[in-house]
Amino acid sequence: MPLILDLIRHGEAEQTGQSGDRSRHLTQEGEQAVGALGQRLAGAGSVPGRVFSSPLERALETARIVAHTAAPGVEIEALEELVPDADPALVLEALESRGVTGGHAVLVGHMPQIGNLHMMLTGDESPFPVATLRRVLFTERAQAGRGRAVLMLRP
C-alpha cells in the first residue's frame, strides 16, 4: 500500500519569551496562514488518516488548525521525534512502530528537522518556509532516499 507523508513546517510563531521555546504560540498571521494551508490541503484530494506533531506548542497549534479543516475528527498525536534538533531517521522508526506503513499521514515540525527529513526522504534540499507543506509519496516501504516529492502547498 502506498504511503503519503505530508511534511508541514509550523506557522509563524511569537519570539521566545520568559516561558521558553517549547511554549511559543503562533502569531495571528501564523494562524491565518496555517488556516489557509489547511484549506488548500483539504482540496488536494486525499484525507489524512493520522496527524502527528512535535510536542512544542506552535507545532501543536498548527496541527490542530490543519486537522480541523483537512482531517476532521482525527486526533493529534505528539511525536517527540519531530522536535527541532531530533535525528530525522528516528521519525521513520517512530512511524513504523505506530503502524504507519501505508495511507496518508501529516507530520508537523520545525526547522531544521523537517527540512532535513524532507531531504533525507527525497534528496531534495528545497527551502522550507513557515506554513509550507511538502508531500512525499512512497510506493513501497518508507525508506531514506525512496520518497518522491509530489506536491508543495503554501497558504
CATH of 3-13+23-153, one of 3.40.50.1240, 3.20.20.70, 3.30.70.1450, 1.10.1740.10: 3.40.50.1240
> How many angstroms separate the CA atoms of 39 and 36, rounded?
5
User: Which grid coordinates belong to 8?
Assistant: 508541514
> How many angstroms separate the CA atoms of 134 and 141, rounded?
19
Question: Rounded to two decimals, what is the model's pTM?
Answer: 0.95
User: Residue 49: exposed, middle, or buried by beta-carbon count in 10 A (0-12, 13-18, 19+)?
Assistant: middle
What does the pLDDT look like over 51-102, one tens digit per residue? 999 999 999 999 999 999 999 999 999 999 999 999 999 999 999 999 999 9
Whole-number pLDDT of residue 125: 92
Mean pLDDT of the chain: 94
The answer to whether 150 touches 30, Cβ cutoff 8 Å, is no
The radius of gyration of the chain from alpha carbons, rounded to an integer in Å, stands at: 14
The number of angstroms, rounded, from the C-alpha of 93 to the middle of its chain's C-alpha atoms is: 16
- Residue ranges per structural domain of the chain: 3-13+23-153
Give the list of residues 6+ apart from residue 32 with CB closer than 8 angstroms, or none: 155
